[in-house]
A and B are shown apart, each in its own frame.
Chain A
Amino acid sequence: MIRTEELLLNVGPQHPSTHGVFRIVVKLDGEVITEATPVMGYLHRGTEKLAENLNFTQIIPYTDRMDYVSAMTNNYVLCHAVEKMMELEIPERAEFMRLIVMEMQRVASHLVWWGTYLLDIGAMSPFLYAFSDRERILSLFNELCGARLTYNYMRVGGVKWDAPEGWIAKVKVLVKDMYNRLDEYHNLVSGNEIFLSRIKGIGQYDAKTAIDYGLSGANLRSTGVKWDLRKDEPYSLYDRFQFDVPVGKNGDCFDRYECRMEEIVQSLRILEQALEQFPGEGDTMGKVPRVIRPPAGEIYVRIESPRGEIGCHIVSKGKAEPFRLKFRRPSFVNLQILPKLLVGESMTNLVTILGGIDIVLGEVDC
């Protein structure tokens, strides 16, 4: 009889597949994980606490840095919460601009996910394919608001910049090209038998577990629950557009992959319609008091970020600074199911499952 011992392996915080500074302490029996303890907080910057000393305009650049892959939706959730509290009217053109950049952001964010997920699984090329296309979206953002990652684009009451000359036409070209690029992506990996065998049936959970853990986004939809805040609680102008909510069946990594890939297509559909209906004239900033002081009270708004339901809870005492600001970060919530999923899986599947959840560490640690 051979005496075997469990191996305590420290994955992270500088492991290449933890997508940042995330750490998982796993107990390995051979290559099978018997216990996994996620350790997070390496990127904690105390955004929520810092926000208590900042006024609402100043908080916007901080939200950029939470989910830095999808800064536009973060900007939006804060502005949306404040606007709802103050019952502000947003000009239609501003709302269109917001919606267009948010959907572009969703495409860019899913591209990052797609590229890095394939990189986790061992294919090198998809990463560069995805990034070369994301680069086009970021260049458009750069033209629009002067930054490529931390946009600080939205303001309470509207957006900072109107679309520059020819920008809308460029987005139209981009949307058209993206359909072709997606075909190429599917040709490159989606049919690859090695890839399919790596993700089918891995990290499976059912709808009940997903809801119990509070999952949202593609992690929830992959189990067959049709829940998309853009459809179920329409905010912005989403009720004006036709789009489907892709759902999976089995709740495994493959369904999550399919859902996200289909979400890109749906985002492109929304973009097509939004660009078609884009108003030719109009203000990009509504009538906003010089100092933004939401009335005393509380509000919770939630929107659909690329990673799931991002919520913003503001407690105001009628001052220019929030009394308490709390973000419900989808990456953080989605991550909670990880220890449960990892038990009994191999080291290889750890990477597949963690990548499939799609976390951004800036948002997990906030």
Chain B
Amino acid sequence: MQHFWDQPLSWGTAGIFAAAAIGVLAFVIFFVTYAIYFERKFIGWMQYRQGPNRTGPLGLLQSVADVAKLLFKEDTIPKKADRGLFILAPVLAFVPSFAVLAFIPYSLNLQFADLNVGFLYYIALSGITTIAIVVAGWASNNKYSLLGGMRSAAQMISYEVPLVMSVVGVVMMSGSLNLRDIVIAQEGYFWHWNFLPQILGFGIFLIAAVSELNRTPFDLPEAESELVAGYHVEYSGFRFAFFMLTEYIYVYAIASLTTILFLGGWNPPIPQLDFIPGVLWFFLKFAVIVFCLFWIRATFPRLRVDQLMGLAWKVLLPLAILNIFLTALGIELIG
């Protein structure tokens, strides 16, 4: 399949590429729709509630109705807002979030771009979304959104460092930044997967990833009880929908990344189970991660800004560096 994407660009292939991109977009939007649905359902069940059950059978059309509502809503731009930037910010947030999906290998043969710097590509592009959030916070000309945007910038920049550092161990073990090679290096039984030898790195990665996603307990940029809605306080209608979409696409990306880096990607837990297609294993693991995100959101309170920074720089970063040393030692001693 990989060779297919490497063909020289002609009108015919360009059409196929575009169709594939639209296919991915449709799939991701489908994921986002039902991720929101299941998030609300699960959190509802965890709080003695039913969750959405009014729109469509079992409430399955709830998110569709919500999106339709957002699309039909009046598009408002505050008078004192920086008009250009205000319009630009949702786009700037969304485009990189979609672009990072290109490199995810779902199974041995199902991948769009086989990048040798796969992981770095993710980090580089997701950084652009941070800028978009700061831009949104600034352009709204609202004090709450400004505070939210500033918090977001500080938080996301701080947590990118331990996020990258925690993956270094994985990269050292598999000797490649290419995500496909990383998964291939984890073949075998489930104790060959990276989350056991790299347990420290796995923990750091998870914490930093949740923080990158701005989700509870790290949802300070949009902390409802403090900043009302944070950086998107002035956004409504489809511009707000874009921010929501971005957030959930990053959930998709991070859950995929965790699966690939630490949970063996498409590999079955024991090789005897390999008659089940790899894509299914991939999405099973993926679903577990997404569920954990919802579960954490239903349980935990929010951290404070200073604690958040302290955690990144004083705890996670030293631990990540320690993890690199331990991995190096392990590779040297055990082989």
A contacts B directly (C-beta below 8 A): yes
User: B299: which of A7, A9, A120, A123 is its contact (CB, 8 Å)?
Assistant: A123
User: A198: which of B48, B151, B304 is its contact (CB, 8 Å)?
Assistant: B304
The answer to the question of A346 belonging to the interface, with a C-beta cut-off of 8 Å to chain B, is: yes
The answer to the question of B216 belonging to the interface, with a C-beta cut-off of 8 Å to chain A, is: yes
Min CB gap A195→B, angstroms: 5
The answer to the question of B123 belonging to the interface, with a C-beta cut-off of 8 Å to chain A, is: no
Interface string of A172-206 (1 = CB under 8 A from B): 00000000000000001100101101100000000
Interface string of A117-135 (1 = CB under 8 A from B): 0111111110011001000
The answer to the question of B305 belonging to the interface, with a C-beta cut-off of 8 Å to chain A, is: yes
CB closest residue in chain B, given A199: B301
- Whether A121 contacts B225 in the complex (CB less than 8 A), given A31-B305, A198-B301, comes out as yes
Min CB gap A99→B, angstroms: 30
The answer to the question of B227 belonging to the interface, with a C-beta cut-off of 8 Å to chain A, is: yes
The answer to the question of A267 belonging to the interface, with a C-beta cut-off of 8 Å to chain B, is: no
Chain A residues within 8 Å of B220, by CB: 348
The answer to the question of B6 belonging to the interface, with a C-beta cut-off of 8 Å to chain A, is: no
Tell whether, in the assembled complex, residue B226 and residue A348 are in contact, meaning their CB atoms are under 8 Å apart: yes
The answer to the question of B21 belonging to the interface, with a C-beta cut-off of 8 Å to chain A, is: no
User: B301: which of A118, A346, A347 is its contact (CB, 8 Å)?
Assistant: A118
Most A-side CB within 10 Å, residue of B151, B302, B303, B304: B304
Chain B residues within 8 Å of A189, by CB: 301
Tell whether, in the assembled complex, residue A16 and residue B301 are in contact, meaning their CB atoms are under 8 Å apart: no
The answer to the question of A351 belonging to the interface, with a C-beta cut-off of 8 Å to chain B, is: yes
Tell whether, in the assembled complex, residue A125 and residue B299 are in contact, meaning their CB atoms are under 8 Å apart: yes
CB closest residue in chain B, given A352: B304
User: A17: which of B47, B144, B217, B226 is its contact (CB, 8 Å)?
Assistant: B226
Min CB gap A168→B, angstroms: 26
- Whether A122 contacts B143 in the complex (CB less than 8 A), given A15-B228, A348-B304, comes out as no
- Whether A351 contacts B226 in the complex (CB less than 8 A), given A123-B299, A188-B299, A192-B301, comes out as yes
Chain B stretch 261-306: residues in CB contact (< 8 A) with chain A: 297-306
Tell whether, in the assembled complex, residue B225 and residue A120 are in contact, meaning their CB atoms are under 8 Å apart: yes
Interface string of A19-49 (1 = CB under 8 A from B): 0000000001001000000000000000000
Chain B stretch 22-53: residues in CB contact (< 8 A) with chain A: 43, 46-49
The answer to the question of B307 belonging to the interface, with a C-beta cut-off of 8 Å to chain A, is: yes
Tell whether, in the assembled complex, residue A124 and residue B297 are in contact, meaning their CB atoms are under 8 Å apart: yes
Tell whether, in the assembled complex, residue A347 and residue B227 are in contact, meaning their CB atoms are under 8 Å apart: yes
Interface string of B213-249 (1 = CB under 8 A from A): 0001101100111111000000000000000000000
Chain B residues within 8 Å of A350, by CB: 226
Tell whether, in the assembled complex, residue B307 and residue A347 are in contact, meaning their CB atoms are under 8 Å apart: no
- Whether A132 contacts B48 in the complex (CB less than 8 A), given A198-B303, A348-B305, A349-B304, comes out as yes
Q: How far is the CA of A128 from the CA of B50 in the complex (A)?
A: 12
Chain B residues within 8 Å of A120, by CB: 225
Min CB gap A201→B, angstroms: 12
User: B46: which of A17, A125, A192, A347 is its contact (CB, 8 Å)?
Assistant: A125
Tell whether, in the assembled complex, residue A197 and residue B307 are in contact, meaning their CB atoms are under 8 Å apart: yes
Tell whether, in the assembled complex, residue B304 and residue A128 are in contact, meaning their CB atoms are under 8 Å apart: no
Q: How far is the CA of A331 from the CA of B216 in the complex (A)?
A: 31
Q: How far is the CA of A197 from the CA of B228 in the complex (A)?
A: 22
User: B217: which of A15, A194, A348, A349 is its contact (CB, 8 Å)?
Assistant: A194
Min CB gap B103→A, angstroms: 33
Tell whether, in the assembled complex, residue B143 and residue A7 are in contact, meaning their CB atoms are under 8 Å apart: yes
User: A129: which of B47, B227, B303 is its contact (CB, 8 Å)?
Assistant: B47
Q: How far is the CA of A189 from the CA of B216 in the complex (A)?
A: 14
The answer to the question of B147 belonging to the interface, with a C-beta cut-off of 8 Å to chain A, is: yes
- Whether A123 contacts B300 in the complex (CB less than 8 A), given A17-B225, A351-B225, comes out as yes
Min CB gap B159→A, angstroms: 16
- Whether A347 contacts B298 in the complex (CB less than 8 A), given A122-B216, A132-B48, comes out as no
Tell whether, in the assembled complex, residue B224 and residue A16 are in contact, meaning their CB atoms are under 8 Å apart: yes
Q: How far is the CA of A350 from the CA of B225 in the complex (A)?
A: 10
Tell whether, in the assembled complex, residue B143 and residue A9 are in contact, meaning their CB atoms are under 8 Å apart: yes
Tell whether, in the assembled complex, residue B225 and residue A192 are in contact, meaning their CB atoms are under 8 Å apart: no
Tell whether, in the assembled complex, residue A128 and residue B49 are in contact, meaning their CB atoms are under 8 Å apart: yes
Q: How far is the CA of A16 from the CA of B48 in the complex (A)?
A: 23
Chain A residues within 8 Å of B43, by CB: 124-125
Q: How far is the CA of A119 from the CA of B47 in the complex (A)?
A: 13
- Whether A124 contacts B47 in the complex (CB less than 8 A), given A16-B228, A17-B226, A351-B226, comes out as yes
Chain B residues within 8 Å of A125, by CB: 43, 46-47, 298-299
Interface string of B180-192 (1 = CB under 8 A from A): 0000000000000
User: A119: which of B147, B225, B303 is its contact (CB, 8 Å)?
Assistant: B225
Tell whether, in the assembled complex, residue A122 and residue B217 are in contact, meaning their CB atoms are under 8 Å apart: yes
User: B298: which of A9, A28, A124 is its contact (CB, 8 Å)?
Assistant: A124
Most B-side CB within 10 Å, residue of A124, A128, A351: A124
Q: How far is the CA of A119 from the CA of B223 in the complex (A)?
A: 11
CB closest residue in chain A, given B304: A348
User: A347: which of B49, B216, B226, B300 is its contact (CB, 8 Å)?
Assistant: B226
Tell whether, in the assembled complex, residue B47 and residue A122 are in contact, meaning their CB atoms are under 8 Å apart: no
User: A346: which of B217, B219, B304 is its contact (CB, 8 Å)?
Assistant: B304
CB closest residue in chain B, given A349: B304
- Whether A128 contacts B225 in the complex (CB less than 8 A), given A118-B301, A194-B217, A346-B306, comes out as no
CB closest residue in chain A, given B307: A197
Q: How far is the CA of A183 from the CA of B297 in the complex (A)?
A: 21
Q: How far is the CA of A194 from the CA of B227 in the complex (A)?
A: 19
Chain B residues within 8 Å of A349, by CB: 304
Tell whether, in the assembled complex, residue A192 and residue B300 are in contact, meaning their CB atoms are under 8 Å apart: yes
Chain A residues within 8 Å of B224, by CB: 16, 122
Nearest 3 CB-CB pairings of A with B: A122-B302, A123-B301, A128-B47
Given contacts A9-B144, A122-B302, A346-B306, 5 further A-B contacts (CB under 8 A): A10-B143, A16-B225, A194-B301, A194-B302, A351-B225
Can you give 7 contacting A-B residue pairs, CB < 8 Å? Answer: A31-B151, A121-B302, A125-B47, A125-B298, A194-B217, A194-B300, A351-B225
Residues in chain A within 8 A of chain B (CB atoms): 7, 9-10, 15-17, 28, 31, 118-125, 128-129, 132, 188-189, 192, 194-195, 197-198, 346-351
